[in-house]
Structure formats: C-alpha cells, structure tokens
C-alpha cells in the first residue's frame, strides 16, 4: 500500500511513523508512505498557504492553489483509490472503514488547518471525508496518523501474528474480553481458573461471555446497531 499525506507541518508526522508497527510495515515493504509539504507548492514568496475568508468572520482558510497543485501532481503519477480529507464534520472513523481502506492500493490524505480548506477542494478533489471524533484539533495531522495506524495494522504481514487484528475490539461489533498474562497470581489477584485449564472450548465460551458482558456495560449501542440488542 502507498499512502501520501499532504500537510503544512510535515515534521509533526515524523514521530508516529518512525517507530513500532508503522516503521516495521515500511521496513518490510508493506507500506510506502510519503509526506508532502503543501507550502512547497505555494507561489507566494513567503510560502503563505492561507488567506481571509470571503464574507468576513474569524479565522483563516487554506487557499486552493497549493493544495490543488500537489493533488494534481500526485494524481498525474498514479491512480488513487481515495483522496481523504481529515475534518471534524466528516464520516466518523469506524473499524469497518479501516477494514475497507486496508484493501486499497493507494490513498491520499489531506490535513486541514485554520478554519479548514477552500470548499472547492472538497467539492472537486476529495472522495471521502473522515473524522476521528466529535471534537476539534489544531490540525488534521494527528487524525491522519490515527487513520493510517488503524488501516496499516490490518495489512497481511504487518503484525507478527496476523490473527491478532481479527480479534480486536469492534471487529465483530463487540468489545474484546479481558486478557491476562504471567504471573498467574500477583498480590493475591488471580487469573481466572478457566484460562489456566487448557480446555479451549471452555476458554472460548468464557471469552464470548465476557465480551458480551463488557459490550453490554460499556457500548450497548454496538449491539443495537447489529441487531443483537433490544
């Protein structure tokens, strides 16, 4: 998979992709990731990429020319399955969206700033608009990092245990059950006996029960959306 990220703060994205799973994905050749500085495409002598909004009002708007220039350049080099804009008023990121994007070949992600981008960018270039939550950040970079992480970890070969991602919360519209590891007892707190029994049928039944219990207590909306709730 190739992912191109468009931003005015490229240094902000160095950390999230230079360590752990994202770094391994690139080292293994599963992910080709390029970060593009939108300011490099500005024709303004000061590399300005924002201006006052028409009609007045507080806040600046990212201008159309440099964004369109970098998008058009990248589109001339390859076809993109999606051109994504990170925005608070976009489609809320869910596991199903991450699953969908993980099957794509080329993705482009635009990070907004200020009051956002000139609406003509959204009208003529953007194919999907994604939000990571009902709140506002200083820019789209952190949201883009969250989106990329949620997608790339699903690509076969990225995780050491490829079945791990399939048992994460939300994959089957339920939260994951509790997990334990060594030692079996600490400070008088014991691991449930069933997990030490070696009876995988009972273990699986216990995990299903606990997953349902946790989902009912914490996210009953997941069960209702899937038709499992009342």
- In tens, the pLDDT along 60-108 reads 999 999 999 999 999 999 999 999 999 999 999 999 999 999 999 999 9
How many Å apart are CA 143 and CA 151, to the nearest integer? Answer: 12
pTM of the model: 0.88
34 and 128 inside one domain: yes
Has residue 174 been placed in a domain? Answer: yes
pLDDT (tens digit, 9 = 90+) per residue, 170-196?
667 889 899 999 999 999 999 999 999
Q: Which domain holds residue 213?
A: 169-225
Has residue 122 been placed in a domain? Answer: yes
Yes or no: say if 37 and 8 are a contact pair by the CB < 8 Å rule.
yes
Give the model's pLDDT for residue 172: 72
CB atoms within 10 A of CB 175: 19
133 and 202 inside one domain: no
Name the DSSP class of 9.
-
Closest CA to 83 of 61, 111, 64, 62: 111
Q: Using pLDDT thresholds of 50, 70 and 90, give the confidence band for residue 160.
A: confident
pLDDT at 166 over 80: no
User: Which residue among 152, 181, 213 closes a domain?
Assistant: 152
Has residue 78 been placed in a domain? Answer: yes
Closest CA to 7 of 105, 99, 17: 17
The pLDDT of 143-157, averaged and rounded, is: 96
Higher pLDDT: 197 or 168? It is 197
We report the CATH number of the domain holding residue 196 as 1.10.1270.20
Indicate the number of domains in the chain.
Answer: 2
* Cα 203-229-208 angle, rounded to 5 deg: 5
How many Å apart are CA 32 and CA 3, to the nearest integer? Answer: 6
What backbone torsions phi and psi does residue 128 show, to the nearest 5 degrees?
-140, 145
68 and 106 inside one domain: yes
74 and 179 inside one domain: no
Has residue 71 been placed in a domain? Answer: yes
């Amino acid at each position: 998979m190739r992912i191109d990220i468009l931003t005015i703060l490229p240094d902000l994205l160095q950390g999230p992709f230079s360590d752990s799973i994202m770094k391994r994905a690139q080292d293994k050749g599963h992910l080709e990731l390029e970060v593009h500085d939108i300011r490099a495409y500005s024709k303004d002598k000061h590399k300005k990429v924002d201006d006052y909004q028409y009609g007045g009002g507080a806040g600046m708007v990212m201008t159309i020319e440099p964004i369109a220039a970098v998008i058009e350049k990248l589109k001339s080099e390859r076809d993109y399955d999606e051109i994504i804009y990170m925005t608070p008023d976009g489609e809320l990121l869910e596991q199903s969206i991450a699953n969908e994007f993980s099957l794509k070949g080329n993705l482009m992600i635009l990070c907004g700033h200020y009051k956002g981008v000139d609406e003509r960018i959204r009208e003529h270039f953007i194919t999907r608009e994604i939000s990571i939550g009902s709140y506002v950040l200083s820019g789209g970079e952190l949201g883009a990092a969250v989106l990329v992480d949620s997608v790339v970890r699903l690509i076969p070969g990225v995780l050491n245990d490829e079945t791990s991602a399939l048992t994460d919360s939300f994959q089957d519209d339920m939260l994951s059950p509790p997990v334990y590891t060594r030692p079996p007892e600490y400070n008088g707190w014991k691991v449930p006996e069933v997990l030490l029994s070696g009876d995988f049928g009972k273990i699986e039944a216990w995990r299903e029960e606990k997953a349902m219990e946790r989902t009912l207590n914490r996210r009953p909306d997941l069960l209702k959306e899937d038709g499992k709730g009342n």
